[in-house]
Amino acid sequence: MKNKYNGIYVALMTPFDKNEKINAKALEQYVNYLLKFDIQGFYVGGSTGEALMMQDNERKELFKLVKKYTTKDIKLIVHVGSLSTKSAIDMGLYAKELGYDAISAVVPFYYGLSQDEIIQYYLDIVNSVKHDMVIYNFSPSGNSPLTLQTFKKLFENEHIIGIKHTSQNLFALNQFKALGDVALFNGYDEVMLAGLSMGATGGIGSTYNIMPQKYIDLYTAFNEGNMKKAKSIQDEICDIITTLIECGVLPSEKYLVSKAGFDMGDCKKPFAKLSLDKKKILDKLYKEKLS
């Protein structure tokens, strides 16, 4: 059995202070809060963690802190993806040494690499780090989406054990069943139920930060075959995400979690601070649907 990573994984936010430095105290409080929920793990230092705006040494500092604050036996997957293979390997080795369960890396973007170059990127990382790897299947710019053929080649490697599928293409997600028993995480929270129906074995999401219990309940309802309940939770989630998208997903999430009592600070630049108008919309959302 290859897949030991089912369930609900919160894509952890990183709290920053006014100088864009990690706010360790807020991070500890926030991690402690999330550990009270019946989640299966954290996804550390991904898009939601703002890692792509952080220096490698700052990312390593985050890995160290989250590992230290996670005092409960849940799985920890850490994102080490970088445009540089060398950096990804360096961060991967560090995370493995800290005791992370698995590493993950986004498809290297920007340069429009070929499928072969991308395959080599992942093989170089796992052959050096020798640790479980979850491919972060997200192609924001530059690359064409990874093909099933590419995934088949990647999964010949014993260390490559999962996919975080951040794509609305759920037919592609379903086709991953050809890869065998892999950890298949739904990536877009607004299609969580659809993703589960098409074969996802869990989810990694950003909006789990503001409503973890809804995802736990949706996942449970789905596994119990209670589709009516699962659908009604997904509908509630989609209404909330519609507002988040309108106001900007990451700054809104930080604002909402700060309202709940954790000092998350602002997103790193170039993210803008939320306008007063957007804050008002989010205040209403918080009051009516999240508190």
Active site residues per annotation: 136, 164
Return the number of the residue (79 or 131) whose C-beta is nearest ligand MN9. Answer: 79
| Angle CA 40–43–47, to nearest 5 | 150
Q: Which stretch binds ligand MN9 (CB under 6 A): 78-86, 174-182, 187-195, 210-218?
A: 187-195
Specify the stretch interacting with ligand MN9 by CB under 6 A; choose among 52-60, 122-130, 202-210, 231-239: 202-210
Rounded to the nearest whole angstrom, what is the least distance from the CB of residue 213 to ligand MN9 in the complex? Answer: 16
Which part of the chain contacts ligand MN9 (CB under 6 A), choosing from 176-184, 201-209, 214-222, 261-269?
201-209
Which C-beta is closer to ligand MN9: that of 123 or that of 219?
Answer: 219
239 to 258: interface string for ligand MN9, x by CB under 6 A: --x-------x---------
Q: Is 190 in the site for ligand MN9 (CB under 6 A)?
A: yes
48 binds ligand MN9 (CB under 6 A): yes
- CA 26, 32, 37, 40 torsion-angle sign: positive
- Answer whether the bond into residue 212 is a cis peptide, omega within 30°: no
Token pair 């089912």: residue = 6
Tokens 């008002």 found at: 280
Instruction: Indicate whether 50 belongs to the interface with ligand MN9 (CB under 6 A).
Output: no
Site membership for ligand MN9, residue 143 (CB under 6 A)? no
| Region of 87-95, 118-126, 145-153, 185-193 interacting with ligand MN9 (CB under 6 A) | 185-193
Give exposure, 114-144, as e/b (b: 16+ Cβ within 10 Å): eeeebbebbbebbeebebbbbbbbbbeeebe
Among 108, 162, 187, 212, binds ligand MN9 (CB under 6 A): 187
Residue 204 near ligand MN9 by CB under 6 A: yes
Report how many residues bind ligand MN9 under the rule CB under 6 A.
16
Q: Is residue 166 close enough to count as binding ligand MN9 by CB under 6 A?
A: yes
User: How distant, in Å, are the alpha carbons of 55, 198, 215, 285 from that of 37?
Assistant: 31, 26, 11, 22
As measured in angstroms, the least distance from the Cβ of 46 to ligand MN9 is 6
42 binds ligand MN9 (CB under 6 A): no
Q: Locate 281 and state its tokens.
A: 């919309």
| CA torsion, ordered 113, 119, 122, 123, to nearest 10 deg | -140
Cα gap 138→108, rounded to integer Å: 9
Could you give the count of Cα atoms lying within 13 Å of 31 in the half-sphere of its Cβ? 26
Q: d(Cα 35, Cα 219) in Å, to the nearest integer?
A: 17
Nearest residue relative to ligand MN9 (C-beta)? 206
Nearer to ligand MN9, 123 or 184 (CB): 184
Q: Supply the DSSP string of 250-288, one letter for each residue.
A: HHHHHHHHHHTT----PPPTTSPPPPHHHHHHHHHHIII
List residues near ligand MN9 by CB under 6 A. Answer: 11, 46-48, 138, 166, 187-190, 204-207, 241, 249
